[in-house]
């Protein structure tokens, strides 16, 4: 499919100044990709200057949250090029999220056109510092102006980009969330939809007041096994082996999670995907057989956990940051930034 490039794009790019301090997701690239879908038919994609959107106040997304998104990254490689990390996995997950909310999937070719075009035009904005990257945020939402509760007949798909640092520096203090749930049984926990994140906000506000950084969400069915953090998957190191919650239906299937499992096995670690009972895990932290834990995600990369708080008790990890998290983080970044062989075929040069 051919892509229309708005003539104003060149001037937007020329006028952009990269700030010295990036943070995460606050500096926006001056261009964005856009395509629309009416009654199942997708338009040609276009690259346009980054600008506010015009939405009808009755648009379905504003009332019934018919919206999903992705998070993915383009890296500056050692050789000076720019590569996307496993973009086909994000395209597939976005199609899964869209289907869960009765939205038309963005065709894989259009999704790839979007992320490739934005990355190619923003190649000069991909940071060269290790751990920094061009964070890409594709998103899709229903725009039909109609207050009846039904799937929209019209949709918009965008890709915006943000030169960013990693989302979390690490040494996170986790709060075991025993009251709220992020997702429901049969709900949208395994889809990347905004509602999951909105549902996590009250817990995060409460835990910040208590001096913690992130909620550790439990399975909404049994409320006893670990699911994930808000926007990151979870790993524990127990007696030198890696344990991560098996995909339960309420966990987002993280691309970084999947990559770390492959990488860790390749590096000789035993990795278990299983139901992790929270009380058993806290017991193992207290007696020392679990000495390390970390979270992972596209935005966060690999982010060490320093302790768990549960009710009135705290369970510090003996190793924080721990050596397993550090080795995995470094190996993943070495592949993403072109210092190590891409033996899994994960990188897609743009």
Nearest residue (CB) to ligand COI, 291 versus 337 = 337
* Per-residue binding letters, 269-298, with ligand COI (x by CB under 6 A): ----------------------------xx
Residues 219-238 that bind ligand COI (CB under 6 A): 231
Nearest-approach distance from CB 85 to ligand COI, in angstroms? 11
Residue whose structure tokens are 């964005």:
32
Task: Measure CA of the first residue to CA of the last residue in the chain; give whole Å.
Answer: 17
Nearest residue (CB) to ligand COI, 9 versus 254 = 254
Q: List 242's β-bridge partners, or say none.
A: 237, 271
Q: Which of 22, 226, 299, 317 binds ligand COI (CB under 6 A)?
A: 299
Query: Which residue in the shown chain puts its C-beta closest to ligand COI?
Result: 71
Nearest-approach distance from CB 260 to ligand COI, in angstroms? 13
Q: List 176's β-bridge partners, or say none.
A: 216
Task: State the helix-helix crossing angle for 108-121 and 87-100, rounded to 10 degrees.
Answer: 130
- Please report which helix (H) or strand (E) contains residue 118, including its range: helix 108-121
Nearest-approach distance from CB 43 to ligand COI, in angstroms? 26
Q: Rounded to whole angstroms, how far apart are CA atoms 172 and 295?
A: 9
Kindly state the number of chain residues that form the binding site for ligand COI, as judged by CB under 6 A.
6
User: What tokens does 65 get?
Assistant: 């949250």
Nearest residue (CB) to ligand COI, 225 versus 230 = 230
**Count of all residues that appear for the chain in the document:** 350
Nearest-approach distance from CB 76 to ligand COI, in angstroms? 18
Q: Which of 139, 167, 234, 346 binds ligand COI (CB under 6 A)?
A: 167
CB 197 within 8 Å of CB 107: no
CB 184 within 8 Å of CB 146: no
Q: Rounded to whole angstroms, how far apart are CA atoms 19 and 76?
A: 17
Residues 40-99 that bind ligand COI (CB under 6 A): 71
Residues that bind ligand COI (CB under 6 A): 71, 167, 231, 297-299
């Amino acid at each position: 499919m051919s892509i229309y490039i708005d003539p104003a794009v060149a001037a937007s790019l020329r006028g952009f100044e990269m700030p010295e301090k990036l943070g995460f997701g606050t500096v926006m690239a001056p261009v964005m990709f856009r395509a629309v879908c009416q009654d199942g038919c997708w338009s040609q994609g276009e690259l346009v200057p980054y600008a506010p959107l015009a939405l009808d106040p009755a648009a379905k997304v504003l009332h019934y949250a018919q919206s999903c998104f992705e998070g993915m990254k383009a890296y500056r490689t050692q050789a000076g090029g720019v590569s996307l990390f496993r973009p086909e996995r994000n395209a597939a997950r976005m199609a899964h999220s869209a289907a869960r909310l009765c939205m038309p999937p963005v065709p894989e070719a259009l999704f790839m056109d979007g992320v490739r075009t934005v990355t190619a035009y923003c190649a000069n904005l991909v940071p060269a510092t290790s751990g920094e990257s061009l964070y890409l945020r594709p998103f899709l939402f229903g725009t039909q102006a109609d207050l009846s509760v039904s799937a929209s007949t019209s949709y918009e798909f965008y890709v915006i980009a943000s030169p960013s640092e990693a989302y979390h520096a690490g040494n996170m203090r986790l709060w075991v969330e025993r009251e709220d749930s992020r997702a429901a049984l049969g709900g949208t926990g395994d889809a990347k939809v905004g509602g999951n994140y909105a549902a996590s906000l009250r817990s995060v506000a409460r835990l910040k007041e208590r001096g913690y950084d992130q909620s550790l969400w439990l399975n909404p069915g049994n409320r006893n096994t670990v699911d994930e953090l808000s926007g990151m998957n979870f790993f524990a190191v127990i007696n030198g082996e890696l344990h991560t919650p098996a995909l339960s239906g309420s966990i987002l299937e993280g691309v970084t999670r999947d990559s770390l499992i492959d990488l860790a096995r390749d590096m000789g670690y035993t990795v278990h995907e299983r139901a992790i009972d929270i009380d058993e895990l806290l017991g193992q932290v207290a007696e020392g057989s679990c000495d390390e834990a970390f979270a992972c995600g596209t935005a966060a990369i690999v982010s060490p956990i320093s302790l768990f708080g549960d009710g009135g008790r705290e369970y510090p990890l003996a190793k924080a940051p721990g050596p397993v998290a550090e080795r995995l983080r470094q190996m993943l970044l070495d592949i993403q930034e072109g210092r190590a062989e891409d033996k899994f075929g994960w990188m897609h040069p743009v």
